[in-house]
A and B are shown apart, each in its own frame.
Chain A
Amino acid sequence: EPEVTQTPSHQVTQMGQEVILRCVPISNHLYFYWYRQILGQKVEFLVSFYNNEISEKSEIFDDQFSVERPDGSNFTLKIRSTKLEDSAMYFCASRDGRNSYNEQFFGPGTRLTVL
Chain B
Amino acid sequence: RKEVEQDPGPFNVPEGATVAFNCTYSNSASQSFFWYRQDCRKEPKLLMSVYSSGNEDGRFTAQLNRASQYISLLIRDSKLSDSATYLCVVNDDDYKLSFGAGTTVTVRA
Residue pair A33, B96 in contact (C-beta under 8 Å):
yes
Residue pair B42, A48 in contact (C-beta under 8 Å):
no
Among A33, A41, A45, A102, point to the contact of B101 (Cβ < 8 A).
A41
Contact status of A45 and B97, CB under 8 A, knowing A89-B41, A108-B43, A109-B43? yes
Task: Kindly state the interface size class of chain A when it binds its partner.
Answer: 20 to 34
Q: How far is the CB of A104 from chain B (nearest CB, A)?
A: 6
Return chain A residues, CB-CB under 8 Å to B101. 41-42
Contact status of A106 and B45, CB under 8 A, knowing A31-B94, A45-B97? yes
Secondary structure call for the A interface: strand
Task: Kindly state the interface size class of chain B when it binds its partner.
Answer: 20 to 34
Those of A23-50 within 8 Å (CB) of chain B: 31, 33, 35, 41-45, 48, 50
A56 at the interface (CB under 8 A from B): yes
Those of B84-103 within 8 Å (CB) of chain A: 87, 91, 93-102
4 tightest Cβ-Cβ pairs between the two chains A and B: A48-B95, A106-B43, A43-B99, A45-B96
29 CB-based A-B contacts, threshold 8 Å: A31-B95, A33-B96, A33-B97, A35-B97, A35-B99, A42-B87, A42-B100, A42-B101, A43-B87, A43-B99, A45-B96, A45-B97, A48-B95, A50-B95, A55-B94, A56-B93, A56-B96, A58-B96, A89-B41, A91-B43, A91-B44, A102-B91, A104-B97, A105-B46, A106-B44, A107-B43, A108-B42, A109-B42, A111-B41
Interface residues of A (CB under 8 A from B): 31, 33, 35, 41-45, 48, 50, 55-56, 58, 89, 91, 97, 102-109, 111
